[in-house]
Structure formats: C-alpha cells, structure tokens
Amino acid sequence: MRASQFFISTLKEAPADAEIISHKLMMRTGMIRRLGSGIYTYMPLGLRIIRKIEKIIREEMNRSGAVELLMPLVQPAELWQETGRWEKYGPELLRIKDRHGRDFIIQPTSEEVVTDIARSVINSYRQMPVNFYHIQTKFRDERRPRFGLMRGREFTMKDAYSFDRHVEGMEKSYQIMFDTYTRIFTRIGLHFRSVAADNGTIGGTGSHEFHVIAETGEDALVYCPTSDYAANMEAAESLPPSDVRPAPAEAMQKVLTPGKKSCEDVTAFLNMPLEKSVKVIAAIRLDAAEDAPDRFAVILLRGDHDLNEIKTQKIIGPFRFAAEDEIVQYTGTPSGYLGPVGLDKKPGIAVYADHTVTVMGDFICGANEVDHHLTGVNWDRDVPLPPVIMDFRNVVEGDLSPDGKGTLAILRGIEVGHVFQLGTHYSSDMNATFLDENGKSQFMQMGCYGIGVTRIMGAAIEQNNDERGIIWPLPIAPFDIVLCPMGYERSELVRKTTDDLLAGLLEAGIDAILDDRGERPGVMFADWELIGVPHRVVIGERGLKENMLEYQGRRDDAATTVPQAEIMDFIQ
Ligand code: ATP
Ligand code: MG
Ligand code: MG
Ligand code: MG
C-alpha cells in the first residue's frame, strides 16, 4: 500500500464532544466521522481495523464449529410480538413502518429471527447441536450515545445462537463459546478478564461478560486475586448475603392479602423509615413457582430519582430490575415508580396506571434499612420462610471473597463480550420444538453470545495509547509497518531500496504501507505515531551508504540502526 493512494487525514485537535481518549484519537486520526448522534462512518483507516477484528472473530468462530449466516437488519414486528419484546424492549428498539403501514424494527439483536429459523429448519435431535452466527450492523437507540464507537447507536456486533437438545448440551455449547471468546480476545492482544454476570432482562440461567480492563471503563468488576472468583458489580451484589440475621418480629407480622390494593396500602405495607440517601426503598421478591422458573421483582424508588437510575441500583438476591418500559409511574405516593417484571407471566405483580396494584401468587416482601435489606416477610404460606437480613452495602475493596479464598479487589472494565445460557426462554415463547430420540417433542435449549466488534476498537485504544497517540496491538493494527523514505522523489537509491523493501514485506504477508506523500519527516513521524502503526522503518541515503536502516517500534523511545539485510527478521 502507498499512502499517496490511500486516504490519510489527521487533525491537530479533537472535536469538543470527544470526551475520552479513544474517541479523541479516532477522530484525530480520521478513522471515523460522525454523521449523527451515535452514528459514524468508518473511514478507510478505521475500517481496516474493524476488518482485522472481524477476521480474528470469524476464524475462531469457524474453528469452534459455529456456522456463519447473515440475518436481516430489518425484521418484521410479528416475530418480536411473539416473544413480547416488541413491548418489553422499550425505547432502545428502533421501530419503523413500511409503505403499507406494517411495523418493522431495526435489529438490536437477533434471537427472534434465529429462533424462527431454527423452528422451521430443525426437526430432529440429530440436527443439533448447531451454532449460527453473523457479524451484522445493530441499532440500539441508546439513551446516552457517547464515547464514539464505545456506545454508539449503530454499531457492529458478532452475535451467535446455539441450539441443543438438552441442558447438558447447552452447557457444553456455552463452554465452547466461553473458550472461543478467551481465544479471540487473547489473539486480538487485549488485557481482558471474564466475570460472572447477571442475566439482566434476557433471563436464563448462566452468563459471563468479557471486559477489557481500562480506567475509563463504565463497569466495575470485582475479583479475588488469590482465587478464580470474578464478577461484575451487579452479580457480586446479588450473591447470598454474608450478614444473615433474623428480621425483627414486627416485620414478620406484616401481611398483604391477595387482591387489588391501593398504592397507599402497598406503601403502608412496606413501611420504611429511611434515610434520604437510600434510593431503593423496597424490593419484593416473588418465589419461583413451578410453572414460572423466573423470579420477579418490584423496585420502588423515591420520587427524586429518575428512571435512568433504576438499572444502576443494586440488585439484591435473585432479583432483577424491571425493563424501563415495564415500569409504570404512579402518583399515589409522592411520585414514586413501581416496576413489575414479567407481567405476562404467573405469578407476578401487575401494576396499573389507575393507582391499583394486583398481587398474585406467593411472594416474600422486603424492605430496606440503612445499609441492610430485610427479606422474609412472609405472606400466604403455612410455614414461614426463615427471615434474613441482607447486607446491603456496596461491595468494597478488601471484603472477603464469596469463595472465602481471599479478599476482593475492584477494577474497571469495558464490556466487549457477553455469553448467555438462555435455556428455553425464547424457544418456548416461539414454540421452537424438535423430536427427541424417543419421538417426543421438546423445546430447544438455547444460548446466545455477543461481541461488540466496533466497541473493541475503542477499548483497544483506551488500553493502548500514550501522549503521541495510539499504540495498536499488532494483530489489529491498520498496518503492521510503515516505511518512511527520506527523499523518495530525490534519491534513486532511496526510492529503489524502499520499493524493494515494500515488495518484500508484502510478499512475506506483512501489511506494510509506504509513506510517499512527500511530507517533511517531522509530519510523517507524528502522523504514524498518532495512527499507532507498531513498526516504522526510515530509509535514508546516509544510512544506505553503509547498508543500514533505521528501525523504531511504536513503544520505543528512540530509533535503532539495523543492517539492511536483517530488517525482515527484526520486524517479525
Ligand atoms: P452495555 O451494558 O454496554 O449497554 P449490553 O449488555 O447492553 O452492553 P449486549 O446485549 O450484551 O450489550 O450485547 C453484546 C455486546 O455488544 C456487548 O458486550 C458490547 O460489547 C456490544 N454493545 C452493546 N451495546 C453497544 C453499543 N451501544 N455500542 C457498541 N457496542 C455495544
Ligand atoms: Mg445496553
Ligand atoms: Mg451490559
Ligand atoms: Mg451485555
């Protein structure tokens, strides 16, 4: 590649809206261009990096036995209505209409479409396991798109979906993906960590996230340096409490009978004398019923917090928070919010906008005191459950690890990958069945696995930069090496040597670029250091007279003189 035929356009200053280093450097190097909020063009230089990331992902996915297909960006609303996500996904889902007024969405993820494929093409247990993946554009109408490619609205994801005939099979598929992700992030050359994660709104049974370690990461990770324990903060805080004490007797006496309740009744029932600083004022846990393996939670927030904060509150026990659109505001108390989860499931708690609450099924109610969460206020049971007090403080550095093998440390990370065990969550909603070895119809056991392709680009820069610019890990660098001739136009010797060297490098499969733009050395060097190319070779007449070239690695402080004949070995 010759720089004169490529497109290089660097800037001295980053635009004012670029807050973090990766966003600044991507803008300054001209790797991306903003088209709208959270929407970017990948310019030629940026696209090279994305293609290299995709290549590694594709190679490792294929090696794992997964098969590539390509599902549409635009998907009919009907499939999303089948799983209820048309309503549940909330404002992050971009909904559009065609000329006939039919509803469609731009996919934020593809569980519905892939499950629809599976239910029509898989009939027998013999056709599984199978793992379909694609690398495709996603759209999520994020509340706060920011940090360039890190939290875009349009972005590229690799998403994979496994189908198995039983739980053991699904667990095996999950493990294969876990190992594949470990290989992918290792090959890309990132410092990363996998952590146990909460299943969030997707539901299901097991989940891990992969995080690139960086100060600027949005997520807090908790780990034990002396054992294998690692979790994201939400999962860490949902562990069984270490501080278990009986609830006070009066808490046990509170009873809420089934039926329609006014908001005042529920508030009185929860009865919480709270410090103003305590944000979550109540959490109700529904006991899992046989026909509803999911557990449900209701979170009540004080009026002075907006919905935005609900998801960032601590998750206690097996609770999960209501998706935003499941939260119904009511005005019976000073503008609180009540969030039911699983309105379509039984048992559940239904909250209606007419200020009434219907309570169905068994549940345990809880209430917060400062630093503690009380559970075990029993209702509608013959035998009271053992009441407990949960430790409701933040996990802090130095806490005992839940495995008892050491103390906890906290790191910050950027979520670049996420693996989920889904079980029959989608297959049961969409009736995706197969015939097992006994000819019996069963729901498929699923897993889903995402990697943020474009986010990796930002995360890699966050982790690898200095005052001169980006320092790409070699496997995803836009170019492996840049050749900087001194007097390419002027000196026949320099030109010939540089051209030969370029040809030799390309021949050897090394991704080399020759800077023949005729820029001054200072400009040339500054540009390539900003862009972050790992190797640089300077070809000058003076050195060539002694058969010498100048080499500098991107992390080196100064150049080294290298005999011309040795340069190939030197950079490999
Ligand atoms: P986050 O917690 O950052 O919002 P998520 O948990 O919603 O991410 P997943 O649904 O797990 O994301 O999607 C799989 C992967 O897609 C994530 O691990 C992340 O790398 C990437 N991703 C998600 N949202 C975005 C986004 N807005 N911009 C870029 N990449 C994203
Ligand atoms: Mg998200
Ligand atoms: Mg997440
Ligand atoms: Mg995730």
Residues in CB range of 375: below 8 A, 6 or more apart:
247, 285, 316, 317, 364, 365, 366, 387, 388, 389, 390
Tokens of 341: 């989860």
**Partners of 342 in the beta sheet?**
none
Tokens of 465: 């930069």
How far does residue 108's CA lie from ligand 2's centre (Å)?
A: 10
Rounded CA separation 61/133 (Å): 8
Is the distance from the beta carbon of residue 416 to the nearest atom of ligand 1 less than 6 Å?
yes
H/E run at residue 526: helix 521-531
- CA 459-321-175 angle, to 5 degrees, is 55
pLDDT band at 376; cut points 50, 70, 90: very low
**pLDDT computed for residue 205 by the predictor:** 56
How far does residue 221's CA lie from ligand 4's centre (Å)?
A: 14
pLDDT band at 278; cut points 50, 70, 90: very low
- Res. 109: pLDDT tops 50: yes
**pLDDT computed for residue 43 by the predictor:** 97
Higher pLDDT, residue 298 or 337:
298
Atom from ligand 1 closest to the CA of residue 140: 27
pLDDT band at 550; cut points 50, 70, 90: very high
Torsion of CA 258, 262, 268, 269, to 10 degrees: 10
Pocket test for ligand 1, best of 157, 221, 412, 421 (most atoms within 8 A of CB): 157
Residues with a beta carbon under 5 angstroms from ion ligand 3: 415
Provide, rounded to the nearest whole percent, the portion of the chain with pLDDT above 90: 62
Rounded CA separation 536/550 (Å): 8
Rounded CA separation 408/223 (Å): 5
Cα-to-chain-centroid distance, residue 117: 25
For 485-506, write each residue's pLDDT tens digit. 999 999 999 999 999 999 999 9
Is the distance from the beta carbon of residue 415 to the nearest atom of ligand 1 less than 6 Å?
yes
- Res. 368: pLDDT tops 90: no
Lowest average pLDDT, out of 3-17, 386-400, 410-424, 458-472, goes to 386-400
| Strand 512-514, strand 481-485: pairing | parallel
Instruction: Let me know: does 110 contact 70? Beta carbons within 8 Å.
Output: no
**pLDDT computed for residue 271 by the predictor:** 43
Can you tell me whether residue 480 is helix, strand or coil?
Answer: coil
**pLDDT computed for residue 476 by the predictor:** 98
- Res. 535: pLDDT tops 60: yes
Q: Detail the DSSP E strand segments found in 404-464.
A: 409-423, 433-435, 441-443, 445-452
**pLDDT computed for residue 570 by the predictor:** 76
pLDDT band at 399; cut points 50, 70, 90: confident
Instruction: Let me know: does 32 contact 46? Beta carbons within 8 Å.
Output: yes
Torsion of CA 331, 333, 337, 343, to 10 degrees: -80
Tokens of 103: 């509803």
Tokens of 101: 């007024």
Cβ burial of 39 (10 Å; 0-12, 13-18, 19+) is middle
**pLDDT computed for residue 252 by the predictor:** 39
Atom from ligand 1 closest to the CA of residue 456: 20
Rounded CA separation 511/505 (Å): 7
Rounded CA separation 446/128 (Å): 11
Higher pLDDT, residue 307 or 77:
77
**What integer is the mean pLDDT of 303-311?**
30
56: amino acid identity, one letter = I
**pLDDT computed for residue 116 by the predictor:** 98
**pLDDT computed for residue 323 by the predictor:** 36
Rounded CA separation 143/92 (Å): 7
**What integer is the mean pLDDT of 227-241?**
73
pLDDT, the chain, mean: 78
| Strand 67-68, strand 130-139: pairing | parallel
Instruction: Let me know: does 444 contact 123? Beta carbons within 8 Å.
Output: no
How far does residue 198's CA lie from ligand 3's centre (Å)?
A: 9
Atom from ligand 1 closest to the CA of residue 109: 10
Can you tell me whether residue 515 is helix, strand or coil?
Answer: coil
Rounded CA separation 456/212 (Å): 8
Residues in CB range of 474: below 8 A, 6 or more apart:
189, 480, 534
- Res. 470: pLDDT tops 60: yes
**pLDDT computed for residue 199 by the predictor:** 62
Atom from ligand 1 closest to the CA of residue 108: 10
Q: What is the ipTM of this complex?
A: 0.99
Cβ burial of 435 (10 Å; 0-12, 13-18, 19+) is middle
Other Cβ atoms closer than 10 A to 572:
11
- Res. 412: pLDDT tops 80: yes
How far does residue 92's CA lie from ligand 2's centre (Å)?
A: 9
**What integer is the mean pLDDT of 356-369?**
36
- Res. 385: pLDDT tops 90: no
How far does residue 393's CA lie from ligand 4's centre (Å)?
A: 24
For 115-168, write each residue's pLDDT tens digit. 999 999 999 999 999 999 999 999 999 988 999 999 999 999 999 999 999 999
**Backbone torsions φ then ψ of 142, nearest 5 degrees:** -60, 140
Rounded CA separation 161/418 (Å): 12
- Res. 303: pLDDT tops 70: no
Torsion of CA 182, 186, 192, 193, to 10 degrees: 30
Cα-to-chain-centroid distance, residue 291: 31
Rounded CA separation 314/198 (Å): 11
Tokens of 2: 């010759």
- Res. 265: pLDDT tops 80: no
Instruction: Let me know: does 137 contact 73? Beta carbons within 8 Å.
Output: yes
**Helix 167-188 × helix 44-63 angle, to 10°:** 140
- CA 336-85-39 angle, to 5 degrees, is 90
Instruction: Let me know: does 447 contact 421? Beta carbons within 8 Å.
Output: yes
pLDDT band at 401; cut points 50, 70, 90: confident
**Helix 21-28 × helix 453-463 angle, to 10°:** 100
Atom from ligand 1 closest to the CA of residue 450: 14
**Cα atoms found within 13 Å of the Cα of residue 354, Cβ hemisphere only:** 3
Instruction: Let me know: does 365 contact 345? Beta carbons within 8 Å.
Output: no
Pocket test for ligand 1, best of 415, 451, 453, 461 (most atoms within 8 A of CB): 415
**pLDDT computed for residue 234 by the predictor:** 74
| Strand 94-97, strand 441-443: pairing | unpaired
